[in-house]
Amino acid sequence: MTERRGFTLIELLVVIAIIALLMSIMMPALNRVKKQARKVACVAQLKQWGLIWKFYCDDNDGYWLSGEGGGSGVWWIQPMLEGRHHIEENLRTCPQAAKSHGSSSIGSWANQAWEVPNTAQYNDGVNNYIGSYGPNGWMCNPRSSGNASVWGRSPADDHWRTPNVKGAWNVPLFQGQWWVDAWPREADQPPDIIDTQGGAIPDRPNVNEMERVCADRHGGFVNNLFCDFSARPVGLKELWTLKWHKSYNIAGPWTKAGGAIPSDWPQWMRGFKDY
């Protein structure tokens, strides 16, 4: 006769406890790896956008978009649906912010995509445009000049019009952001508060537009594409040191050079690196 032996209840409970302990140790590390992978994938996507924008400018005498043709981001989305510039929706979304909060909410959180109605010949009455990247509006090549307003942002002479500029490595072209476009200025204030998910809640839409790009997507960083078509992570406080438009002061009031100290920032941003 052979004796059959199995696990006792105590042994099974011990094994389950060990597995639970290992999972509790491994999960934070796995989450960090997943977030890092999304950050790398986001930079890779922005590098693809660098090629796309270069092709577009090459086809338009070196100039960027005119900023005309429709509001709510249509002015840059729809040209990307034409010809060799055709962009699929998945390339418009950061892997860390691929799901939309819905078109009924203008401002939302760092890890959610924006959503706007599609219009004109592309409007099928059902699908909206979704994305989590957006352009630096000051890149527009407005047809007007002087102090004429472009989508409410002026003076028009502050617009870069082309990525072929001096110091292109520090001039933002296209970046992760919670809304479809942005025209930042050096005096723009950072978002004051955060939501339960840890993302900034913009409370002054269309006024302090740096809020639109100040999205804590990647552990205190957001990924940016610059006018030299390079892409890299940018610290959230570093955003105020980038050359957003021609007369932008990179030593403005929210920089170390401009006298800003950690306590000046909202509580949720004070632990981030100062620039």
181: in domain: yes
Closest CA to 60 of 43, 76, 73: 76
pLDDT in tens, 177-211: 988 899 999 999 998 765 544 445 555 556 789 98
Predicted pLDDT at 207? 72
95: in domain: yes
Average pLDDT of the residues of the chain: 83
Residue numbers of the domain that contains 182 = 13-269
Burial class of residue 267, CB neighbours in 10 A (0-12, 13-18, 19+): exposed
Per-residue b/e over 7-39, b at no fewer than 16 CB within 10 Å? eeeeeeeeeeeeeeeeeeeeeeeeeeeeeeebb
129: in domain: yes
Tell if the pTM clears 0.85, that is, is over it: no
3: in domain: no
Identify whether 202 is preceded by a cis peptide bond (ω within 30 of 0).
no
Predicted pLDDT at 139? 95
Q: Which residue has the higher pLDDT, 134 or 89?
A: 134
8: in domain: no
pLDDT of residue 29 exceeding 80:
no
The C-alpha atoms of residue 200 and residue 202 are separated, in whole angstroms, by 6
Predicted pLDDT at 107? 40
pLDDT of residue 91 exceeding 80:
yes
264: in domain: yes
Q: Are 229 and 51 in contact (CB under 8 A)?
A: yes
- The total domain count for the chain is 1
What angle is formed at CA 56 by the lines to CA 58 and CA 156, rounded to 5 degrees? 95
pLDDT in tens, 105-114: 444 467 888 8
| 40 alpha-carbon distance from chain centroid | 14
18: in domain: yes
Hey, which residues does 129 pair with through a beta bridge?
116
231: in domain: yes
**pLDDT class for 86, splitting at 50, 70, 90?**
low
Predicted pLDDT at 159? 92
pLDDT in tens, 211-228: 899 989 999 999 999 999
pLDDT of residue 48 exceeding 80:
yes
Q: Which residue has the higher pLDDT, 3 or 92?
A: 92
